[in-house]
Structure formats: structure tokens, C-alpha cells
Structure 1
Amino acid sequence: MARKDESKKDQIILQQMEVIRSMTEHNLRRMGTDFWGTPAPARPPETTGTSREETPTAPEKQREPEKTTAPEAKTPPEKLEDLLAELDSYIGLEAVKREVRSLTNLVKVHQLRRQQELPVPALSLHLVFSGNPGTGKTTIARLLARIYHSLGLLSQGQLVEVDRSGLVAGYVGQTAIKTGKVLEKALGGVLFIDEAYALNGGGDNDFGQEAIDTILKAMEDHRDDLVVIAAGYDGLMEQFIHSNPGLESRFNRFLHFDDYSLEELLDIFRMQCKKGCYQLEPAAEEQVRSYIRAENSDPVTFGNARGVRNLFERVLVCQANRLAALEQVSREELMTITAEDVSAARGGAS
């Protein structure tokens, strides 16, 4: 009889562990990649390759060398008011929000003048994004692509992300071909070049300049249906743009992304809890605040919102480990994050 009861108990524990595992997995999937505000409206699925979040030269993001959100067929433009409402929902980014709205207004007035057959000055939509890792550069680039599509400036509004490795090849002549394929995918949308200054290698056997020349030619040939955003660290981006007259003439608009404040980072953590149907105990929230305050003394190393994301994911793993040891787990316990979970995610540090 005792053996039968023990077997039944083991079965219940295994069932509870499976429930916890599947719920944690589901919640992580539904988080998406947006850690700055409310979830974006449904878009076509992303085509992804090899993931890359931090490059050896500068830890901005480890994205794959080439990633596109381009749909196979053209998607109808979204409503501009919806996109601007999404912009407003993002946590922080106040200066960037103002610049994006100003740029949107400039484009709208430019179009109105054209409709009235008034002279219109040349309008460059290419941008330079500068700032530390995890400050929302890719998020805003993706939103801008959709805004430009909504305004009728881009035919598709997809975002194609690359870094140096997605553009530069190792032999003469191959870089132009490799870069050309990326540009072909970006036509009708935005090409986002991360760590753009890495293209300016300067060595005898470096083919970064070939990639730059190919991109500049495409910007001229397809100026009515291609936008390029070059992104990276402050200082390095300015040096890169000013190192080449062709770049300097095409990139004349800079957007700086400030680091997040402690309260903004805490808001991002709270927002992730809300999206995943988790509740933070007061003591757990203080643990999160303490951790962010200590770790974010160096925003580059911590990674701003990316550091918050990493902490949140570790907390969910620690919560699952704690709950898996219980014989029975209630709905409320599945939704609660405790100070013990956060402490375990921090490695037991207080």
C-alpha cells in the first residue's frame, strides 16, 4: 500500500513539473522581442538565421548576420495613428519619440507641398542611430520602416538587419555580390546596419569599403524605395560617417538613444511580468531594484533593457525550479514571483 501511495505521489510531481515547464515555455514564447512597451500589432513572421546578440568588437546586439521581417507578399500599410500610439507606449525614449514625430511631420508636409505642386527640397530619410546596447535602436528602426510604409514612402516596410559579417566576404569581388543580395531583400523597406563603423576596417585586405560603395550606389539608384539606418556607439558612428564624403552627404540626421534610468528599467521588468501574467511580490520587486541599481552602473556591460530581459528569463527559470519541488502547485503560485526566485537568479547575492 505504501509503495502504491509513493508511486502515485511521484506521478503527481511529474505532472506538476510538466505543467510548470509548458507554462514557462509558453510565457517565454509569447513575450516576443519588444521590451520597450506594449506588444506591436501582428506582423508577418520573421525569417531568422544564425543568432548573434553581441559582436566581439562591440557588444551592441547579437543578431544573425542577416535577418529580415519582409513578408513574401506585400502587406497593406498600417494606420499612422496606430503606429504613433505604439511609439508613445514605449517606456523611456522621450527624445527619440520627439525626433520620430518631427520626422513624420516633415514627411507629411513634404507630401502636401508636392500635392499642391509647390517646390519641395530634397528629403533624406537615411538615419544614424547612436547609443549603448539595449536602448531600443532596432525597435525604433522597425517601427520607422512601418511608419514610412504607412506614409507611402516605402512599398513594403520590412526591416532587414545586418552587421559587417552579413555584408563583407573574404575575396575580391565577392563582397559586392554578398552586399547586393542583402540590398535586394531590403528594397521597399529599411536596411539596418548594426556596428556600421566595423565596415571601415582600413586594412590592405579589407573589403569593407567595397560594401560601403555598393550600399551608397544602391541608396542613389533606389532612393525612392530604400532607407538605410546605420547604428552603433556614440563617437564611433560620427567618426565613421565623417570619414567618407559619400556617407556624409547621405546621412545628415542623427538620433541619439539615451541609457535607461533605474525606474525605466524597473518599469520594463514590471511590464514583462504583466505581459506574462506574473505578479511580483513587494520583496521581490525590491530585489529587482537592488540588482538593477548594482549591475547598471555600467550600462554597456549590463545592456540596459537587454540586461533586464536576461534577468527576467533567469527569474522564470528559478521560479520553475522552486515550484517543481512542490507536490501541488496552485494557479496563484504559478503566477507569483518571490524574492527567493530573484535572489536565486542573482546567484544568491543580496
Structure 2
Amino acid sequence: MMISEHYKRQLIKEAKQLDVALGQASELEKLAQEITDEQIDKAALEFVKNLGILTKKQSLPSMEQKQEKVIETLYKYLGASKVDGLIQDLKESSNASLDALLNQLDELVGLEDVKQQVRDLIDFNQIQQLRVKSGLKKSNKTMHMAFLGNPGTAKTTVARIVGRMYKAIGLLSKGHFIEASRTDLIAEYQGQTAIKVKRLINRAKGGVLFVDEAYSLTENDHSDSYGRESLTELTKALEDYRNDLVVIVAGYPNLMEKFFDSNPGLKSRFNTFISFSDYSLDELVRIFTYTCKQNDYIADEQAIEKVQNWLQTKLNEKQHDFSNGRLVRNLFDDITLNQSKRLAKLKGHISKESLMTISKDDVPQDGELVSI
């Protein structure tokens, strides 16, 4: 993620110059320093947020130029996808109401049991807050959760929504979302893993830490001392920061059982276990049509029928790594590529309707591989 020392020095220098121009203490400079010290998510989020506030406060061309220069350097340093993701997080989590977030949850295809469990959690926590306001004791349950299911069943999407819901009802101070894997929790050298986990926890405090494929921390339980060290530190954090941190671990159901058995007391830190079922054929087709709609495409009836047959074939030969929603998104990418190749061969003007329409000829034949 860090492209070069040059951009590191340049980012700090330009942030400092902007602080001076604004006549303020070294606020942006300190955030830039934190970003370059690898405390990236939290500091970068604040950095981008502050730059957004500057836009509203300052209208001088010279100030806009300074700001644009800092943003450009931030893009070079962290990469476009990282900065764009931070900006998107700010847009999504700014002041989303609970009703708006519940609507987002309801819009997800399928997952009826999951949706009901999330609604129950919100109801429970809101009542616990009312008890506290009335001078009564609240439940000692933690907010940490385990999401059990196969790939592509919307576990990450639901985790993001839950974090923002908890922010909306006042359970979390920030509601931001950090996704982590084994590489984010385990260091390369002895003694560094605990430090790495602590840094990650510090960045996640106030929001959600989502650990996908959490069982990978303990896959080599007889020889992987780093994995055990990481899990010990993570287990401690689950208790220490239970009031302003939600940790959600996710993965295949059977492998997650081994994960919970690997550390005494780990499972007791999680009060909520939510199972994400594989999608049915009808739900997979609905995901496809929804994806088309979101991207300004319309599949005609024959195309939909062919997509349905293609997905049925994949369900019939279902492998252990069947990827559900991801499979549909990969199919959609293949179909739109095929549509582009078909339209590119046409001579003359291509109408808007043609650009939007997916025909049966764009859908791969049964058994054809979807690009990864």
C-alpha cells in the first residue's frame, strides 16, 4: 500500500503547509504522520473527513489548489481504491438513520432468517439502553458475533450494515468497518504479532472488525505459534473493548467449529451466531436481475431463461467452494463482456436500448466457465 518514501514525505509536508495556511495547530500533519505509521484506516478516514470540511469553509482558489494537491498525494500514497473506499464509507456512515439502514437490509435478496436475527438484535439493544436510562441493570451479553456460511452469502454486506445500525442507535461511537484476514493479524517475526493485533484493534475501536475466514488463524494449530499468539491477543481484546467494538468472525460452518474449539473461552465471548444459507435458484436469478438493474442493463426473457438454466447446472454440480452471489457477479461480468463484443461488431449507430439490452446470445452455454 505504501508506494514510496517520496510520497510519504510529500504527504506530511503538504499537510503541514495546509495547516499553516489555515492558521491551525498541526491537525492534518498529525493525521498524515499516523497514516504513514501504518495506523491507516482510522487516521485516513479522519484526514479525508477534515479535507471535506475544509471545502465548505474555504473558497479561495489558492486554498482549493493546496487541498487538491494533498488529495492527489494521498491517492498516490494509499492507492485510488483505498481512498475511494474511505470516501464511500464517509458517505454511507455520515448520518444514516436506523430506518434507512433497515430498508437497506430488507432490500437484500433472501436471507430472511438473517434479517430477523438482526432486527431482534436491534430491538434487544434498544431496550437495554432504555433500561440503563431508567436506572436498571443491562444484560452482560457482548456484541460480538459469528457469521457462519459459505462464500458469497452476503456476510460482509450484512456486517457493514450492522455496524452502521449500532452507530445509529448509539452503541458504537463511529460505526466504521475494517475487514481483516490472517495476514492482517499475524506478523512475520516472533514477538510482532501481538503488536500487530493491538494496532488493528485500536483502528477498529468504535466500529466493526470483520475477520473473514477466521479459522485460518488456527488451521496449523500444532505448529503455528504465531496463530495462537494472534488468537490470544484477539480474545483478550474481545473482553477489554466490548463496550465500543464489535468483532465479527466469519467462515465455513464446520471450520468455524474447530476455530472456536481451539482456544478456551473463545466461544463464550460470542453471544450471537448467525447462519447464512446458500441461495436458492430463484434467489440467484433475482440477484442477477438486481445486478442488471443497478448497472443499467435489462435482460430479455430468453436471456433470463438461459441464465436460470446456467445457474441450475452449477447448482446440480455444486462443489464445496460454490460461491453463491460471487458466482452470479462473475456471470454478469462475462455476459456484459459478451454483449460488448457483440455490439462492437455492429456497423453504424448503436441505440441506447441496444446498449442496455442483454440477449440470450450474451449468456454463456451451460457448463462454460465463468471468468474469475
Into which bin does the TM-score normalised by the smaller protein fall? Answer: 0.7 to 0.9
2:165 is matched with 147
2:184 is matched with 166
TM-score (norm. length: structure 1)? 0.76
Indicate if the aligned counterparts of 1:231 and 1:237 stay in contact, CA closer than 8 A.
yes
2:327 is matched with 307
Q: Does 1:281 align with 2:300?
A: yes
1:72 and 1:306, CA in 2 relative to 1: closer, same or farther beyond 3 A? closer
Read off the aligned partner of 1:135 and give its amino acid letter: T
2:363 is matched with 342
SS at match of 1:181: helix
Mapped to 1, the partners of 2:95 and 2:272 lie a distance apart of 25
1:95 and 1:75, CA in 2 relative to 1: closer, same or farther beyond 3 A? closer
Q: Does 1:322 align with 2:325?
A: no
Read off the aligned partner of 2:153 and give its amino acid letter: T
- 1:39-54 superposed matches below 5 A: none
Mapped to 1, the partners of 2:146 and 2:93 lie a distance apart of 27
Read off the aligned partner of 2:330 and give its amino acid letter: N
Indicate if the aligned counterparts of 1:318 and 1:344 stay in contact, CA closer than 8 A.
no
Mapped to 1, the partners of 2:88 and 2:263 lie a distance apart of 30
Residue of 271, 283, 286 corresponding to 2:290 = 271
SS at match of 2:266: helix
Structure 2 unaligned segments of length 5 or more: list them.
1-48, 53-74
Indicate if the aligned counterparts of 1:296 and 1:304 stay in contact, CA closer than 8 A.
no
Read off the aligned partner of 1:317 and give its amino acid letter: L
Residue of 224, 240, 250 corresponding to 2:269 = 250
SS at match of 1:333: helix
Deviates further, 173-182 or 144-153? 173-182
1:39 is matched with none
Deviation at 1:276, TM superposition (A): 1.6
Q: Name the one with the larger helix percent.
A: 2
Deviation at 1:347, TM superposition (A): 4.4
Deviation at 1:306, TM superposition (A): 0.4
Indicate if the aligned counterparts of 1:283 and 1:339 stay in contact, CA closer than 8 A.
yes
Mapped to 2, the partners of 1:185 and 1:69 lie a distance apart of 17
2:46 is matched with none
Residue of 95, 100, 106 corresponding to 1:82 = 100
Mapped to 2, the partners of 1:122 and 1:160 lie a distance apart of 25
Q: How many residues of Structure 1 are paired with residues of Structure 2 in the alignment?
A: 290
Mapped to 2, the partners of 1:277 and 1:90 lie a distance apart of 18
Deviation string, structure 1 residues 57-103 (Cα, Å, up to 9, x no partner):
xxxxxxx9xx9789689964421111111111111000100100011
Deviation at 1:296, TM superposition (A): 2.4
1:175 and 1:68, CA in 2 relative to 1: closer, same or farther beyond 3 A? farther
1:14 is matched with none
2:120 is matched with 102
Read off the aligned partner of 2:351 and give its amino acid letter: S
Deviation string, structure 1 residues 180-228 (Cα, Å, up to 9, x no partner):
2211211110111111111113133530111112112222222211110
Mapped to 1, the partners of 2:129 and 2:231 lie a distance apart of 30
Read off the aligned partner of 2:230 and give its amino acid letter: A
Deviation at 1:340, TM superposition (A): 0.7
Deviation at 1:139, TM superposition (A): 0.5
- 1:116-131 superposed matches below 5 A: 116-131=134-149
Structure with more contact order per residue of length (Cα contacts < 8 Å, sep ≥ 6): 1
Mapped to 2, the partners of 1:334 and 1:168 lie a distance apart of 47
Indicate if the aligned counterparts of 1:68 and 1:158 stay in contact, CA closer than 8 A.
no
TM-score (norm. length: structure 2)? 0.72
Read off the aligned partner of 1:242 and give its amino acid letter: D
Deviates further, 224-233 or 198-207? 198-207
Mapped to 1, the partners of 2:91 and 2:330 lie a distance apart of 34
Mapped to 2, the partners of 1:195 and 1:348 lie a distance apart of 25
Deviation string, structure 1 residues 99-147 (Cα, Å, up to 9, x no partner):
0001111001100111111122202110010011100100000000001
SS at match of 1:161: strand
Indicate if the aligned counterparts of 2:152 and 2:323 stay in contact, CA closer than 8 A.
yes
1:294 and 1:191, CA in 2 relative to 1: closer, same or farther beyond 3 A? same
Q: Does 1:211 align with 2:230?
A: yes
Mapped to 2, the partners of 1:128 and 1:89 lie a distance apart of 22
Indicate if the aligned counterparts of 2:143 and 2:242 stay in contact, CA closer than 8 A.
no
Indicate if the aligned counterparts of 1:241 and 1:248 stay in contact, CA closer than 8 A.
yes
1:234 is matched with 253
Q: Does 1:115 align with 2:101?
A: no
Mapped to 2, the partners of 1:153 and 1:113 lie a distance apart of 14
Structure 1 unaligned segments of length 5 or more: list them.
1-43, 51-63
SS at match of 1:245: coil
1:299 and 1:83, CA in 2 relative to 1: closer, same or farther beyond 3 A? farther
